[in-house]
Amino acid sequence: MSENTFMKRAAALALEKMRADQGGPFGAVIVRTGEIIAEGWNQVTSTNDPTAHAEIVAIRHACAALGVFNLQGCDIYTSCEPCPMCLGAIYWARLHRLYFANTRADAAKIGFDDEFIYREIATEIGTRSIPSQQMKSTAAQQAFREWMESPNKIRY
């Protein structure tokens, strides 16, 4: 299969699942060695899960299918440039390459504007829109100490 075939599938998922009222117009496929490993589509409104974006759903399905917690050697094809959350997940999943169709500017034009999140990430914690403050916790510090000392930890 060609790269164009994978992008066509991501776009077809977006259209099909949007028409079925399963969520917004977004689709994604994860590919390894020329084979689709997993598919995902936006399920935010159909599952009442604000994190159920197409890329996140595809990543979850791919990891489950392969029995791994990273997707090194896999590519992701998305119908739209990923939002900040999905982009972060793509990096955490260690995907090899990202292909996208529509841009984030295209998404903003139809009501999916993530620009404020991009700005918030670059803003100092004390001046972000959602008030945030550190609360020291001895238990949280203990968990970090034990992680550092554990010979059984699995790095990711």
One-character DSSP codes across 64-89: HHHT-S--TTEEEEEEEPPPHHHHHH
Question: In angstroms, rounded to a whole number, what is the distance separating the alpha carbons of residues 145 and 143?
Answer: 6
61: left (phi over 0), alpha (psi -120 to 50) or beta: alpha
Strands (E), the chain: 27-32, 35-41, 74-80, 97-102
- Positions annotated as catalytic residues are 55
Question: How many residues in total does the chain contain?
Answer: 156
